[in-house]
């Protein structure tokens, strides 16, 4: 059976529109019975860029906007413990835009009150949050296909676990489930593994990873329903076109982000190089200043020595010593002594 790849937002949206599938998907991952469910999604523009497009070989390229659409999926569920809301996010590649989006959307849901029915009366309440992240990349820190980030209550003073749950605490913290799609290996030992095998990124019939063949036996009616839905999505021309656009948009976005990363790295390298050049120029200026100060000190020293020689020659000459004697005492040549004496006479 050939099915559409469910990691595409367009395809996953088709699955979540079926409440039976959405209920099965959520309760299988969180391992909690779901008594009722209501699913909504938010469509928004993550990124909008202009891409050169050539319609024919003879016509020149034109620029048309390329919009990258993302979906947020929000399910309000009722479990034996009460109402909760589940945020489902799909991130195919690792980038800061999606991470920022996750944090922003999570903050919005913490602030938002949800409408629920209590004893037949509609009320607005802050509901406990559960997040499910479907990642299209591997986390290097763990090889676990599904990671449950759970919470527990503990009396820190007594060192004992607390079994009771507080509504205040539940509304300010949440459980999270992280699924690493690339680590799914098609094992079908449990119901969870059987469902996750649908997301396994193998057996593609095309280079774009849009259609894949499901090769495992099916013995579960809910999984069979998912496969039938994905099969119809893959065969529907309109859905295929939407997936093609999403594939092209994702590739363009990844290339754009990588190009920006290269530009940022080059800009940083140039900035660091300019900083080194500035530091070198400053060091050269300091060296030049030090040399100038050294030359000035040497000149002053030479001047002091010259003045000392003049004084010594003058005193020796006044004492009646001969030029040869003065030369032997001072180390100066007779010519230098005569020159000094002539300068003294001239200044007088």
Residue 62's pLDDT band (cuts 50, 70, 90): low
Backbone phi, then psi, for 207, in 5-degree steps?
-70, -20
Res. 97: pLDDT tops 70: no
Among 171, 204, 235, which residue terminates a domain? 235
User: What is the pTM (predicted TM-score) of this model?
Assistant: 0.68
Spatial contact of 132 and 147, defined as CB atoms under 8 Å apart = no
In a domain, 326, yes or no: yes
The predicted model gives 229-248 an average pLDDT of 88
220 with 304, same domain? no
Number of H helices, E strands in the chain: 9, 12
Q: What is the chain's mean pLDDT, rounded? A: 84
Q: Is residue 319 part of a domain?
A: yes
**Pairing, β 2-4 against β 211-213:** antiparallel
Residues 224, 298 within the same domain = no
Counted domains in the chain: 2
Confidence of residue 289 (pLDDT cuts 50, 70, 90): very high
Q: What pLDDT is recorded for position 116?
A: 84
pLDDT of residue 54: 55
Give the position of tokens 């100038």: 292
Q: What's the pLDDT band for 1 if we cut at 50, 70, 90?
A: confident
Nearest one of 112, 46, 43 to 76, comparing CA atoms: 112
Residue 258 has pLDDT above 80, yes or no: no
- Report helix angle 334-347 to 323-330, nearest 10: 110
pLDDT of residue 300: 86
Which of 218, 235, 252 is at the close of a domain? 235
Q: Report the alpha-carbon distance of residue 130 to residue 322 in Å, rounded.
A: 110
In a domain, 18, yes or no: yes
Cα distances (angstroms) measured from residue 216 to each of 24, 30, 160, 195, 203: 19, 23, 46, 11, 11
SS3 of 200, please? coil
Q: List the structure tokens of 315.
A: 């005193």
Q: Are 61 and 171 in a shared domain?
A: yes
* 339 shares a domain with 196: no
List C-alpha distances in Å: 284 to 154, 280, 289, 298: 63, 6, 8, 21
Q: Is the Cβ–Cβ distance between 2 and 205 less than 8 Å?
A: yes
Min mean pLDDT across 77-81, 97-101, 242-246 is at 97-101
Q: Is residue 272 part of a domain?
A: no
Domain range enclosing 12: 2-154+161-235
Q: What is the pLDDT of residues 268-278, one digit of tens each?
A: 888 889 999 99
Q: What is the pLDDT of residue 193?
A: 94
3-state secondary structure of 18: coil
Q: Over 90: is that where the pLDDT of 184 sits? A: yes
Regarding whether 299 and 181 lie in a shared domain, the answer is no
Q: Is 265 inside any structural domain?
A: no
pLDDT at residue 46 in the model: 59
Residue 264 falls inside a structural domain: no
Q: Are residues 16 and 93 in the same domain?
A: yes
Q: What is the DSSP letter of 204?
A: B
In residues, how long is the chain?
348
Residue 267: per-residue pLDDT: 85
Please name every residue paired with 121 in a beta bridge, in sequence order, or none if there are none. Answer: 118
Same domain? 169 vs 45: yes
Residue 31 has which token pair? 């391992």
For residues 340 and 309, is the Cβ–Cβ distance under 8 A? yes
Q: How far apart are CA 280 and CA 284, in angstroms?
A: 6
Domain limit, last residue, from 235, 251, 276: 235
**How confident is the model over 115-173, as pLDDT tens digits?**
887 777 888 888 989 999 999 899 999 999 999 998 888 989 998 999 888 888 888 88
Q: Do 227 and 296 fall within a single domain?
A: no
Q: Is residue 53 part of a domain?
A: yes
Lowest mean pLDDT, pick from 19-28, 93-102, 135-144, 214-223: 93-102
pLDDT for 194 beyond 90: yes
Shared-domain flag, residues 87 and 216: yes
pLDDT on residue 318: 81
Residues 177 and 314 in one domain: no
Question: Do residues 190 and 306 share a domain?
Answer: no
C-alpha to C-alpha distance for 94 and 203, rounded to whole angstroms? 23
Q: Is residue 225 part of a domain?
A: yes
**Beta strand residue intervals within 203-253, DSSP E:** 211-213
Quick one: tokens of 279? 């530091």
Structure tokens at 28: 């299988």
CA-CA distance, 48 to 70, in Å (whole number)? Answer: 12
The closest alpha carbon to 84, from 114, 64, 124, belongs to 114
342 shares its domain with 224 = no
At 221, list the tokens: 């009616």
Query: In whole angstroms, what is the distance from residue 273 CA to residue 277 CA?
Result: 6
DSSP letters, 74-91, are EEEEEETTEEEEEEEEEE
């Amino acid at each position: 059976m050939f099915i559409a790849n469910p990691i595409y937002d367009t395809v996953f949206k088709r699955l979540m529109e079926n409440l039976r599938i959405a209920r099965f998907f959520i309760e299988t991952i969180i391992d909690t019975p779901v008594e009722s469910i209501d699913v909504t999604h938010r469509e928004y523009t993550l990124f909008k860029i202009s891409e050169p497009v050539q319609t024919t070989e003879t016509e020149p390229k034109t620029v048309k906007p390329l919009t990258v659409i993302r979906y947020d999926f929000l399910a309000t569920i009722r479990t034996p413990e009460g109402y909760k809301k589940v945020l489902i996010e799909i991130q195919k590649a690792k980038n800061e835009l999606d991470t920022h989006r996750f944090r922003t959307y999570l903050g919005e849901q913490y602030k938002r009150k949800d409408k629920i029915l209590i004893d037949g009366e509609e009320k607005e309440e802050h509901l406990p949050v559960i997040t499910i992240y479907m990642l299209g990349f591997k986390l290097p820190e763990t090889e676990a296909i599904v990671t449950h980030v759970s919470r527990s209550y503990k009396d820190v003073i007594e060192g004992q676990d607390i079994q009771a749950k507080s509504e205040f605490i539940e509304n300010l913290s949440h459980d999270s489930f992280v699924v690493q799609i690339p680590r799914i290996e098609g094992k079908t030992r449990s119901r969870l593994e059987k469902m996750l095998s649908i997301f396994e990124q193998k057996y593609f019939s095309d280079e774009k990873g849009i259609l894949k063949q499901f090769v495992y036996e099916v013995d579960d009616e809910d999984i069979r329903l998912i496969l039938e839905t994905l099969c119809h999505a893959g065969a529907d021309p309109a859905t295929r076109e939407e997936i093609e656009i999403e594939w092209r948009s994702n590739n363009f976005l990844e290339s754009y982000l990588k190009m920006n990363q290269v530009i940022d790295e080059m800009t940083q390298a140039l900035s660091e190089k300019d900083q080194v050049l500035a530091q070198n120029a400053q060091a050269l200026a300091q060296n030049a200043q030090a040399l100038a100060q050294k030359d000035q000190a040497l000149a002053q020293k030479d001047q002091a020595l010259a003045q000392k020689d003049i004084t010594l020659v003058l005193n020796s000459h006044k004492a009646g010593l001969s030029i040869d004697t003065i030369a032997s005492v001072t180390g100066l040549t007779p010519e230098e002594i005569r020159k000094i004496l002539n300068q003294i006479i001239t200044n007088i």
